[in-house]
């Protein structure tokens, strides 16, 4: 069985009432271990070939974000302080070793497995050394026609200092010999490659001898570097790519206009402090040392890679190859099963609440709900939170249409949604320009809650209808992420949502909430109290159970509460997709706690929390992971699903199905390492996502 090892550093904590000191797992190592599990999909021969390549690219994209966000500048100086403690030189060295090991596995898989297997299917990336004379002539013409006019080689000297190199951009460094036009011996040159150029170039079939032959942009430039330096001799050279710290830091207490401050900050994001340097495997020490000095990086930040310095761009190849048999069968979400075609949403919600399980059921149901509200003359007001909706969003177009039709539209836009700041700023300005009331939440907190509130006149009364979700209002990711959407007309729940919108607008004190737990106020406290209550019940002999599904578990107070509850006899199953700092199955400490991670075709994103005390059951859906930032530095929601039928549906589809998974599931051992589960004996293997796709019948071409 495959395993991934988070290689935890020792972070000694003393959980309250525990008899022994328990070592929690390191968060950063746990993130890298998650990416090892994602990389396993690229190794799996039961996965279509182009999807294997896509998973390889996903890992590279994840690593980019890991370095951009987690490798903060002061971390490189081994002085980082956070909720886990201080990194020492030795512990950070182990983290760097783990990252290097993961990158080495990626390129070994790419070169030794994926490339040969692609070639067997007629898909070739032809290097310069393997090109025929006809192919070389075509590449030369392409270079001079499409590439060279956009390149400006810069030879370094006192009047030409090292240029600004953007975050994650492709560049070349070249060592020249011979004098320049003025007789001087300046030997180092930099060639910046514009991002507008495609990284994978498809050759014509008549030139390549087949329909699926490609050349990489880096190999095209590499083959013609000499053409950029007439009269000079090109010696050593290498492609390189620098990753920079990219988490925007804005002192919200010290700015008058957050939107303006963030837009100004975005101008500098691509040029933050360097944290990683990637070069070709054959790069000389002279050139790599030169670059390390330029970017002020230690040697462990250097990554020598035997292939493209940016594997993420290979997704272009996946998109260019027309081979459906090498991809997953197309999955088309079915219409939401709890909706009645042709029936008004408002009439349907008077009969009871509706749950939509995405992506197995279509997010289009949510858009249709908003669309009906926009076109209904009895709807007076629409309130909406926006975290990640994308730059091209039908939902945002509907909100603009609502403004133009005279409805009161209030939108809480989170400007600090990481890497979506620019899109959200643009949407905020577009909505504000036509008369929508645009809010930016609470200073110092990210508004991560996902909620929509519609107010409708019905006779002499105003009636509220709402949508809550564990995921974003983003139609694209709604096809790729597992999430729950909850439509309701429940008076108590919709009143709570109204209170939250008023609070975000006016910062007034919240009244007592009926059905919602809100961070940073009640959510953390309520979760800890629920866990502690089950611990007390277990001591008295009551049968108790906790099953929680989330993306990450790193909040130490919640971890300690779970450990205490488990030691008192509560049976606990945690389904944690990514980082988890709680070590499971440690003898005498966490025997009653099991941790599993499910990595599937779709990204697991729903947050579901189940508590059972004897015969009493409580189930919550939430926008929040169990991380300190979600509990203390964000506006988050958790809400109870009270209808027994709806509650059982969530339990069956998001908890039971995943606890039975032995295809895509990994289980954590006492040492923090994960082992991929396999069906035992003659029992048929069960994959939760596969079973749900089959249940909802949306597979095409299978």
CB under 8 Å to 473, separation ≥6 — which residues? 366, 384, 385, 386, 387, 388, 389, 393, 395, 450, 452
Buried residues in 69-98 as b, exposed as e (16+ CB within 10 A): ebbbeebbeeebeeebbebeeebbebbbeb
> What is the DSSP secondary structure assignment for residue 626, as one 8-state letter?
B
Task: Identify each DSSP E strand in 351-496 by its residue range.
Answer: 354-358, 379-386, 408-413, 437-439, 446-447, 451-458, 461-469, 481-488
**Distance of alpha carbon 439 from alpha carbon 53, whole angstroms:** 41
Cβ neighbours around 569 below 10 Å, total? 17
- SS3 sequence of 157-219: ECCECCCCCCCCCCEEEEEEECCCCCCCCCCEEEEECCCCCCCEEECCHHHHCCCCEEEEHHH
**Distance of alpha carbon 697 from alpha carbon 23, whole angstroms:** 45
Task: Tell the residue number behind the tokens 């990284």, with chain if given.
Answer: 199
In contact, 197 and 217? CB cutoff 8 Å: yes
Nearest to 196 by CA among 217, 165, 213: 217
Task: Transcribe 566-614 into DSSP letters.
Answer: HHTT-EEEEEESS-B-PPPS-TTTSTTEEEEEE--SSEE--EEEEEEET
> What is the DSSP secondary structure assignment for residue 87, as one 8-state letter?
P
Task: Tell the residue number behind the tokens 């600090």, with chain if given.
Answer: 416
Report how far Cα 35 is from the mean position of its chain's Cα atoms: 11
Cα separations (Å) of 38 from 266, 461, 597?
Answer: 30, 52, 11
Per-residue tokens: 126 = 């032809």
The burial of 66, by beta-carbon neighbours within 10 Å (0-12 exposed, 13-18 middle, 19 or more buried), is given as buried
**Distance of alpha carbon 135 from alpha carbon 332, whole angstroms:** 40
- Catalytic residues, which ones? 448
CB under 8 Å to 313, separation ≥6 — which residues? 57, 199, 200
Per-residue tokens: 461 = 């009364």
**Distance of alpha carbon 518 from alpha carbon 525, whole angstroms:** 10
Nearest to 72 by CA among 245, 243, 241: 245
The burial of 559, by beta-carbon neighbours within 10 Å (0-12 exposed, 13-18 middle, 19 or more buried), is given as buried
């Amino acid at each position: 069985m495959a395993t991934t090892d988070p290689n935890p550093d020792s972070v000694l904590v003393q959980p309250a009432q525990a008899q022994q000191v328990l070592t929690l797992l390191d968060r950063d190592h746990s993130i890298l271990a998650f990416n090892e599990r994602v990389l396993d999909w690229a190794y799996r021969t039961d996965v279509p070939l182009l999807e294997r390549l896509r998973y390889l690219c996903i890992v590279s994209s994840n690593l980019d974000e890991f370095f951009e966000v987690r490798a903060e500048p002061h971390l490189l100086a081994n002085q980082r302080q956070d909720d886990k403690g201080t990194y020492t030189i030795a512990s950070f060295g182990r983290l760097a070793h783990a990252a290097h090991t993961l990158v080495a596995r990626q390129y070994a898989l790419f070169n030794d497995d994926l490339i040969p297997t692609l070639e067997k299917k007629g898909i070739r990336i032809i290097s310069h050394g393997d090109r025929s004379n006809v192919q070389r002539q075509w590449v030369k013409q392409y270079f001079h026609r499409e590439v060279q006019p956009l390149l400006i080689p810069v030879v370094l000297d006192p009047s030409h200092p090292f240029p600004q190199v953007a975050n994650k951009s492709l560049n070349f460094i070249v060592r020249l010999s011979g004098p320049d036009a003025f007789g001087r011996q300046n030997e180092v040159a930099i060639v910046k490659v514009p991002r507008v150029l495609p990284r994978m170039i498809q050759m014509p079939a008549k030139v390549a001898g087949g329909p699926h032959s490609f050349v990489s942009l880096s190999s095209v430039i590499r083959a013609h570097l000499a053409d950029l330096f007439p009269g000079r001799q090109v010696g050593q050279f290498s492609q390189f790519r620098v990753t920079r710290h990219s988490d925007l830091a804005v002192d919200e207490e010290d700015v008058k206009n957050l939107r303006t401050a963030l837009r100004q900050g975005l101008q500098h994001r691509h040029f933050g402090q360097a944290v990683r340097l990637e070069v070709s495997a054959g790069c000389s020490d002279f050139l790599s040392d030169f670059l390390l000095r330029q970017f002020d990086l230690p040697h462990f930040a250097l990554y020598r890679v035997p292939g493209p310095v940016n594997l993420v761009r290979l997704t272009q190849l996946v998109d260019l190859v027309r081979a459906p048999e090498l991809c997953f069968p197309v999955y088309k979400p079915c219409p939401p099963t709890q909706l009645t075609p042709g029936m008004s949403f408002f009439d349907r919600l008077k009969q009871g609440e509706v749950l939509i399980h995405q992506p197995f059921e279509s997010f289009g149901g949510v858009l249709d709900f908003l669309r009906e509200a926009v076109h209904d003359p009895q709807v007076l007001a629409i309130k909406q939170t926006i975290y990640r909706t994308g730059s091209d969003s039908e939902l945002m177009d509907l909100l603009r249409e609502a403004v133009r039709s005279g409805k009161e539209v209030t939108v809480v836009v989170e400007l600090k949604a990481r890497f979506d700041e620019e899109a959200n700023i643009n949407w905020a300005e577009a909505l504000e320009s036509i008369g929508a009331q645009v809010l930016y939440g609470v200073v110092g907190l990210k508004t991560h809650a996902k909620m929509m509130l519609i107010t409708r006149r019905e006779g002499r009364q105003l009636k509220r209808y709402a949508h809550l979700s564990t995921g974003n209002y983003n139609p694209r990711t709604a096809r790729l992420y597992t999430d729950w959407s909850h439509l309701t007309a429940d008076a108590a729940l919709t009143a709570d949502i109204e209170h939250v919108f008023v609070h975000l607008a006016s910062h007034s004190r919240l009244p007592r909430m009926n059905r919602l737990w809100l961070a940073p106020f009640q959510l953390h406290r309520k979760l800890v109290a629920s866990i502690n209550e089950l611990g007390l019940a277990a001591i008295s002999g009551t049968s108790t159970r906790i099953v929680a599904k989330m993306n990450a578990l790193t909040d130490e107070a919640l971890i300690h509460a779970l450990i205490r509850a488990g030691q008192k006899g509560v049976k606990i199953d945690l389904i944690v997709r990514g980082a988890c700092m709680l070590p499971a199955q440690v003898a005498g400490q966490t025997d009653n706690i099991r941790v599993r991670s499910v990595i599937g075709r779709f990204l697991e994103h729903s947050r579901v929390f189940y508590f059972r005390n004897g015969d009493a059951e409580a189930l919550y859906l939430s926008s929040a992971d169990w991380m300190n930032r979600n509990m203390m530095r964000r506006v988050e929601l958790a809400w109870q699903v009270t209808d027994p039928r709806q509650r059982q549906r969530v339990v069956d589809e998001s908890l039971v199905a995943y606890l039975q998974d032995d295809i895509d599931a990994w289980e954590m051992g006492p040492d923090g390492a994960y082992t991929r589960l396999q069906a035992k004996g003659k029992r048929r293997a069960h994959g939760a996502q596969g079973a749900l796709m089959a249940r909802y019948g949306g597979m095409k071409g299978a």
